[in-house]
Structure 1
Amino acid sequence: MKKRQLRNRVRELRRQGLSISEIVRLTNTSLHTVKHWVRDIVISEEVLQNSPHGKRYRAQIAAAHVSRVKHRELRRHYQEEGRIKAREGNPLHLKGCMLYWAEGGKYRNQIMFANSDPNMMLLFIHFLREELTVGDNDMIVNIHAHTTNFDEIQRIEAYWLNLLSLPVSCLGKTSHKKGSKSRNNRLEYGICRLEIHNTQLIQHIYGAIQEYVGFENPDWLG
């Protein structure tokens, strides 16, 4: 089938109410191409009401909405857990949450804390272990090294793992770039990024931050 014929076929299937994934399967066309070809097509209400494909599409939209609402309420519950914990007034919990507010990545479903300061990293991992009971197996360490020398990169990786008392199995990706010729103008141990992929814990931190400081941030809830 020629490209123009294929494109017309794809667009016609979309007008009939077929989902993107169904069109990809039926026409053996890439997902990117299908999305590009049908990006301007709005499925009519008549199709949604009467076509079997339209009905399936409506069901998918409804299911997606239910899922979004469910997970948003779950995140709200996790934030409330953080608020409750904040009311206990534990100094380490306060320090860890405030440090994350200042330096941490603001993602919906994961903790991501990056810094070159070993003392900040030590404080934050102490907070994770003591206040959020995060185990070593749940932590991923990614490092950005300011060198391309293999031996130096290994030394930097060992430095952060030893400092944070983490096993080699926690080591994720190490990226690197050529450093400055002057050692005074570069970070000797690069930047360490600690990641924990856990929605409950990041939302706990968000809830606690809002409780400690006394404000609301709906963007964190999603």
Structure 2
Amino acid sequence: MAKPFLKQKAIELRRAGQSYSQIRRQLGVSKGTLSAWLEGMLLSPERIVELRDRSGVRIERYRETRRRNREDILRAIYDQERSKIFPLSPREEFLCGLFLYWGEGGKRVKGSFYLSNTDYRMMRFFVRWTRETLKVPLRKIVVRLHVYSDMNIEREQDFWSHALDIPIPRFRKPYVKGSTLTGLSYKNGFGHGTCNVIVNDAMLSKRILMGIRSIADTFGNSGPVA
């Protein structure tokens, strides 16, 4: 008994310019049934364009909602983890620096130790670690940049000087590569060149390397990881 009513309702909705999807959601009938009922009832080209535009807007709104939800989740996790990590004790900050140097620091230069990276945040921490945790005086620290030939050297030195809070007189003459930044196919992270922070302190270099070795030996002798 409901079929004639549903068919008539489907025809009315179609005449009102609704799409198959809209009608199906309201009446709960199959696509095949709807196709049989509405055979020959085509929408105008203008209405089809209008429906497509609306669909695009809905899709974009859905994507934006998903993006915001994802950002909200990440922000909540970020805040939670930050509250767990900070504030760092002096011992914890010292260990952070050791592990950073173990992974990224130079191990070959005698009489000094250094770190090279393109990430100003990492380099800023390294400078903080040397100045505040290790109590290295500024006179023992020098900076050298590796830049591309199409970079503005003065501007990049100003950037790193501000990022690291190290005055320009502590910067050595930069190494200029023959290649260009614009010629790179992968540019992420290279926008300001590579920064090298060198600390001239032979005894401190030995302490750092031996501290790293003690960590490596301790974990290396603990047996295989299950």
Which category describes the TM-score, using the shorter chain as reference length? 0.5 to 0.7
Cα displacement (A) at 1:110: 1.0
Give 1:164's aligned residue: 164
Q: TM-score, normalised by structure 1?
A: 0.52
- Quote how far apart the aligned CAs of 1:132 are: 1.1
The 2-side partners of 1:198 and 1:92 are apart by: 20
Q: Which has the higher contact order (CA 8 A, sep 6+)?
A: 1
1:98 and 1:209 in contact (8 A); partners too: yes
Match of 1:121 among 107, 123, 130: 123
Distance 1:89 1:196 in 2: 20
> Which residue, 191, 195, 199 being the options, matches 2:194?
191
Q: Provide closer, same or farther for how the CA distance between residues 98 and 185 of structure 1 changes in structure 2, counting only shifts above 3 A.
A: same
Gaps of 5+ in 1: 1-87, 217-222
* 1:180-220 per-position Cα deviation (integer Å, ceiling 9, x unaligned): 4357733110000011121111111012112333359xxxx
- Superposed, 1:100-115 pairs within 5 Å as 100-107=101-108, 108-115=110-117
| Map of 2:144 onto structure 1 | 142
Gaps of at least 5 residues in structure 2 are 1-88, 220-226
Q: How does 1:1-222 map to 2 (within 5 A)?
A: 90-107=91-108, 108-149=110-151, 152-177=152-177, 178-181=179-182, 185-186=186-187, 187-215=190-218
Q: Deviations over 1:119-138 (max 9, x none)?
A: 11011111101221012121
Q: Following superposition, which runs of at least 4 residues in structure 1 exceed 6 angstroms of deviation?
A: none
Could you list the per-position Cα deviations for residues 94-151 of structure 1 after superposition, in whole angstroms to 9, with x for gaps in the alignment?
01111111111113321121110111101111110122101212111000012345xx
SS in 2 for 1:92: helix
Report if the CA contact (8 A) 1:94-1:212 is conserved: no
Shift in CA distance, 89/155, structure 1 to aligned 2, threshold 3 Å = closer
Query: What is the one-letter code of the residue matched to 2:99?
Result: M
State the Cα RMSD in Å.
Answer: 2.4
Find the aligned partners of 1:133 and 1:180 in 2 and give their Cα distance: 36
Please tell me whether the aligned partners of residues 111 and 197 of structure 1 are also in contact (alpha carbons under 8 angstroms): yes
The amino acid of 2:124's aligned partner reads L
Contact persistence 2:90–2:133 (CA under 8 A): no
Q: Report the count of equivalent residues.
A: 128
Gap change, CA 1:185 and 1:113, over 3 Å in 2: same
